[in-house]
Amino acid sequence: MTLQPHAAPFTRFADWFAAAQASEPNDPNAMALATATPDGAPSLRVVLLKAWDERGFVFYTNLDSQKGREIAGNPAVHLNFHWKSLQRQVRIGGKAALVSDTEADAYFATRPRESQLGAWASLQSQPLPDRATFEARVAEMAQRFPGEVPRPPRWSGWLVTPERIEFWQARDGRWHEREVFWREADGWRFGLVYP
């Protein structure tokens, strides 16, 4: 890779994300989140990007969920956006850390009431005997919180601070373009890798 100074990759992400929002029919903010289990096995699921800036990329979850427990044990994670209609991917590797309570409270307040109640009712990733049990828990939370629903204490957001970002663009003949940005002590570096 060519080591050369380069502006942070967030301008490129902003352009690609805007294009995805204009062209993807469903959830352009969907991203695969890879974590590792305590024994080192990969663990993958799709989550939704809820905020981003030059600090990194934010998603929210129950901290007692499988992903929450895995990140608490090993904060090294990877994200992957795949925008099929654009034939583009963005791969992000970095470290996750909890957002502030103020940030989590502000986002939680924007969620629909049903989602807020569901956050209280769900014992995310725990065994569920039947759907009726969950629905009964939702009804119980609706009675408990007839007005404003506060953020549950074990529900928050993770900020993924990127250390490496790759922009992948499909090309004919599988001559894909792969541009890689990586963080060093004095800022971002840029290089290309073979397809």
Q: Is 174 a catalytic residue?
A: yes
Residue-wise pLDDT for 66-112, tens only, equals 999 999 999 999 999 999 999 999 999 999 999 999 999 999 999 99
- Residue 83: which residues within 8 A CB-CB, separation 6 or more? 16, 19, 20, 23, 24, 28, 89
- The angle subtended at Cα 111 by Cα 116 and Cα 126, nearest 5°, is 40
Query: In this structure, which CATH number among 3.30.9.10, 1.10.510.10, 2.30.110.10, 1.25.40.10 belongs to the domain 10-192?
Result: 2.30.110.10
Of 131, 171, 174, 183, which one is the catalytic site residue?
Answer: 174
Residues composing the chain: 195
Distances (CA, A) of 147 to 87, 117, 144, 152: 45, 11, 9, 15
The answer, as to whether pTM is greater than 0.85, is: yes
Residue-wise pLDDT for 132-166, tens only, equals 999 999 999 999 999 999 999 999 999 999 999 99
